[in-house]
Amino acid sequence: MQMMQSMILNSPKGVDDNPLEPADITIPEPGPGEILVRVRVCGVCHTDLHTVEGELPLPKLPIVPGHEVIGVVETLGEGASRFKVGDRVGMAWLHSTCGRCSYCSKDHENLCEGARFTGYHVNGGYAQYTLVPEAFAYPIPDQFSDVEAAPLMCAGIIGYRALRLSETQPGGRLGLYGFGASAHIAIQVARHWGCEVYVFSRSKEHRKLAEELGAAWTGQATDKPPRKLDSAIIFAPAGPLVLDALRVLDKGGTLALAGIYMSDIPGMDYTKHLYYEKTVRSVTASTRKDGGELLGVAAQIPVRTQTQTFPLREANRVLQLLKGGQVNGAGVLVIPD
């Protein structure tokens, strides 16, 4: 029985209490249609923070978090033929779906009742090896190093889906609330589409990064931008931001809520916040189509991810920094050989 290093969650608690514990666990064997991936790096996502702190109901414990995985194919399961041993692949939040329900048949596999998610239902990338059905793995464009590619696997994919669901149009005025890993990728796609981007963030460092990436204006959520917004995306998990965004959204505009978790949204003034055919919609996970399209456009631009790297054993520290808004761009764990 071969063992591997991991950081594992046995019981959710606040990140200041170091909920992830180092553990040697068994290297899994790939089943039919699966591939065993030797993990090189794994991005650290806000969803990981919500998982380890118990803000999301956990279907499985213990669990190895992590779903922004870049690695190489180590072993092929029976019938797996899409990749070969040694190929570089990425893994995202969506680990598998039933493939049969009405959602799957209508290109809404992200809403599948039988969907399973990486680092949530199944062990993820805070370990030396992990499993994925070959149909849910992505070939990674050569333009990106492992570290550069990791944030694309969730922050990038979710940001891309949020852009689509916000009905952002080329040349339009887009507002981004919160400027972490997702937003710093989404702004590059939006600028590629010719959008004028307004960024709202409490962090001076994050606003500075936004300006370097082409933001037309930066400020805080309570500020009034120079022009009304055609569309907006909220990445920060703070419900009161919904009212801030709707206040400056133009008539007929769309607000997309990109987080898997959000604190309570305060009561709205119908006329002030929602009238004039404004739309508010949530973003739920993503599809493989989103992932493929994002990787394609990211390679075309090409997107440049801002990253800070940390060893696997410092996973708790990265989550603490993430919660405190002290990661500028995206945090990435480097997995030991």
How is domain 157-282 classified at the CATH fold level? Answer: Rossmann fold (3.40.50)
How is domain 3-152+306-334 classified at the CATH fold level? Answer: Quinone Oxidoreductase; Chain A, domain 1 (3.90.180)
Tokens of 244: 């801030």
Is the confidence at residue 1, as pLDDT, over 80? no
Tokens of 235: 């990445």
**Over residues 117-144, mean pLDDT:** 98
**Over residues 291-314, mean pLDDT:** 97
**Over residues 184-212, mean pLDDT:** 97
Q: What angle do CA 336, 45, 110 make, to 5 degrees?
A: 115
Quote the pTM value: 0.94
How many percent of the chain have pLDDT more than 70? 100
CATH 3.90.180.10 residue ranges in the chain? 3-152+306-334
Confidence category of residue 328, pLDDT binned at 50, 70, 90: confident
Confidence category of residue 98, pLDDT binned at 50, 70, 90: very high
CATH 3.40.50.720 residue ranges in the chain? 157-282
Per-residue model confidence as pLDDT tens digits over 14-43: 999 999 999 999 999 999 999 999 999 999
Average pLDDT of the chain, as a whole number:
97
Confidence category of residue 233, pLDDT binned at 50, 70, 90: very high
Pairing of strands 196-200, 217-219: parallel
Per-residue model confidence as pLDDT tens digits over 250-260: 999 999 999 99
CA distance 291 to 294: 5
**Over residues 320-333, mean pLDDT:** 94
* Closest CA relative to residue 147, chosen from 310, 337, 328: 310
Is the confidence at residue 268, as pLDDT, over 80? yes
Tokens of 141: 């464009």
CA distance 264 to 273: 16
